[in-house]
Amino acid sequence: MDTPEQPQIYLITPPAITLSTFPDQLAHVLDGADIACIRMALAGGDEDTIARAADACREVAHARDVALVISNHVLLAQRLGLDGVHLDDGARSVRAARKELGADAIVGSFCGTSNHDGMSAGEAGVDYVAFGPVGASTLGDGTTAEHDLFKWWSEVIEVPVVAEGGLTPDLIRDLSPCTDFFGVGDEIWSQDDPLAALTTLTDAMG
C-alpha cells in the first residue's frame, strides 16, 4: 500500500457477516467510495465459515481491483488467494508471516498504542502499522492512541500508519495531517446506510 497524499480508507469487515446480504453491501460501498484495501476481521476460528466469507468478499473486492487481507490467518490467506494478512500481535508474527507469504503479500500489524511495537514491526518488514483505538472502542485494551503518537510517527518513520477504532468526523479532521489510512469498520456497518456513514467520515478530511 503506497503512502497517499491524503489519507485513504482501509475498510474493516464486521466480526460476523451474513453471506446473503453482506457481499451486496460491500459492493455498494466499494462502488460509491475510494477504498484502498479491505480487511476481513471475522471473529472465531471456524475455517469453513471464514473460507465461505472470504470467497464471497474476494469476488467483490478483486472485481473492483481492491486488495483483500485477512486478520491473523496466515495459512488461510495463502490458501484462499487473498492479498495478505493483518496481524494483531505487534511485531511477534511479522517475520514468519512474511516468510510464508512472500515479498509481494501485504503484511500489516496492529500495535495498539506502542510506538516501540510499531518500530519493531517496521524493522521486521511490515507494509503498514495500525495504532488504535483513537476513540471510544473495544479495540485493544481500550487505551486510546493519542494524536501525538501519529504526529511523531508521520514525522520520524517511513512505514505507513493506520488510525483505527472509534473514529468520528472530529477525530478524522484532527488526524488527517498525520496518518496515511483510516481503518473504518463498526463506524459504518452499524448504520442503516454504510456508504452514507462512510461519506460523513471522509467529508471530514477536508
Q: What is the pLDDT of residues 164-206, one digit of tens each?
A: 999 999 999 999 999 999 999 999 999 999 999 999 999 999 7
pLDDT 10s digits, 81-127: 999 999 999 999 999 999 999 999 999 999 999 999 999 999 999 99
Predicted TM-score (pTM) of this structure: 0.95
Average pLDDT over residues 71-75: 96
Would you give the DSSP letter of residue 66? Answer: -
| Cα dihedral sign, 152-155-158-160 | positive
Which superfamily does CATH assign the domain made up of 8-203 to?
Answer: Aldolase class I (3.20.20.70)
Binned at pLDDT 50, 70 and 90, residue 2 comes out as low
At 141, the pLDDT band (50, 70, 90 cuts) reads confident
Please say if the pLDDT value at position 1 is more than 80: no
- How many other CB atoms sit within 10 Å of the CB of residue 49? 15
Asked if residue 31 lies in contact with residue 64, where contact means CB atoms within 8 angstroms, the answer is: yes
Q: Within 13 A of 145's CA, how many CA atoms are on the CB side?
A: 35
In this prediction, what percent of the chain has a pLDDT beyond 70? Answer: 98
| Cell, residue 76 | 488461510
**How far, rounded to the nearest angstrom, does the alpha carbon of residue 98 sit from its chain's CA centroid?**
18
**What mean pLDDT do residues 5-21 have?**
95
Report the alpha-carbon distance of residue 46 to residue 54 in Å, rounded: 12
Mean pLDDT of all residues belonging to the chain: 95
Which run of H or of E encompasses 112? none
pLDDT at 200: 97
Cell numbers standing for residue 85? 494478512
